[in-house]
Amino acid sequence: MSEPCAHVHAIGPCAHVHAIGLCAHVRAIGLCAHVRAIGLCAHVRAIGLCAHVCAVAWVVLVLLLAGSLAGCMQPTEAPLRIGTNVWIGSEPLYLARELGHLDSKAVQLVEYPSASEVLRAFRNQAIDGMVITLDELFPLAIDGLDPRIILVVDVSHGADVVVGRQGMEGMRDLKGKRVAVESGALGAYVLSRALALSGMLAADVQIVHLESNEQPNAFEKGRVDGAVTFDPYRSQLLAAGATTLFDSTRIPGEIVDLVAVRANVLQEQKKAVQMLLAGWFKAIDYLERNPQDAARRMGVRQQTSGEQFLQSMRGLRIPSREDNLRMIGGAAPELVMSGGRLMDLMLDAKLLRAGVSIGELLAPQPLMQLRQ
- Tell me what percent of the residues of the chain surpass a pLDDT of 90: 68
Lowest mean pLDDT among 34-43, 56-65, 226-235, 307-316: 34-43
Strand order in the sheet with 226-229: 206-209, 178-181, 226-229, 161-165, 242-247
What average pLDDT does the chain have? 83
Q: Which domains does the chain have, with CATH numbers?
A: 4-72 (no CATH), 80-152+261-310+319-369 (3.40.190.10), 161-250 (3.40.190.10)
Average pLDDT over residues 28-32: 36
> Where in 290-371 does DSSP place strands (E)?
316-317
Q: How confident is the model at residue 76 (pLDDT cuts 50, 70, 90)?
A: low
Let me know the angle formed at the C-alpha of 115 by 360 and 314, rounded to the nearest 5 degrees: 90
> What is the DSSP code string of 175-208?
TTSEEEE-SSHHHHHHHHHHHHHTT--GGGSEEE
Measured CA to CA in angstroms, residue 372 lies from 154, 271, 277, 322 at distances of: 20, 16, 11, 11
pLDDT at 205: 97
Residues 6+ apart with CB under 8 A from 157: 248, 249, 252, 315, 316, 317
C-alpha to C-alpha distance for 248 and 341, rounded to whole angstroms: 16
| 3-state helix vs strand vs coil in the chain, percent to 5 | 55, 15, 30
Exposure of 157 in the CB half-sphere (CA atoms within 13 A): 12
Residue 347 has pLDDT above 50, yes or no: yes
Residue 146 contacts residue 129 (beta carbons within 8 Å)? no
pLDDT at 64: 53
Rg, the chain, Cα only: 30
pLDDT, tens digit, 9 for 90 and up, residues 221-253: 999 999 999 988 999 999 999 999 999 999 988
pLDDT at 371: 65
How many of the other CB atoms lie within 10 Å of CB of 264?
11
pLDDT at 23: 34
pLDDT at 182: 87
pLDDT at 6: 40
Residues 6+ apart with CB under 8 A from 252: 157
Residues 6+ apart with CB under 8 A from 278: 101, 370, 371
Q: How confident is the model at residue 350 (pLDDT cuts 50, 70, 90)?
A: confident
pLDDT at 70: 45
Q: How confident is the model at residue 297 (pLDDT cuts 50, 70, 90)?
A: very high
C-alpha to C-alpha distance for 119 and 126, rounded to whole angstroms: 10
Residue 193 contacts residue 254 (beta carbons within 8 Å)? yes
pLDDT, tens digit, 9 for 90 and up, residues 172-225: 999 999 999 987 778 888 999 999 999 999 999 999 999 988 999 999 999 999
pLDDT, tens digit, 9 for 90 and up, residues 79-129: 999 999 988 999 999 999 999 999 999 999 999 988 899 999 999 999 999
Average pLDDT over residues 128-155: 96
Nearest to 135, CA basis, from 319, 250, 258, 247? 258
Q: Is 66 exposed, middle or buried, given 0-12, 13-18 or 19+ CB atoms closer than 10 A?
A: exposed
C-alpha to C-alpha distance for 314 and 122, rounded to whole angstroms: 29
Q: How confident is the model at residue 254 (pLDDT cuts 50, 70, 90)?
A: confident
Residues 6+ apart with CB under 8 A from 251: 193, 197
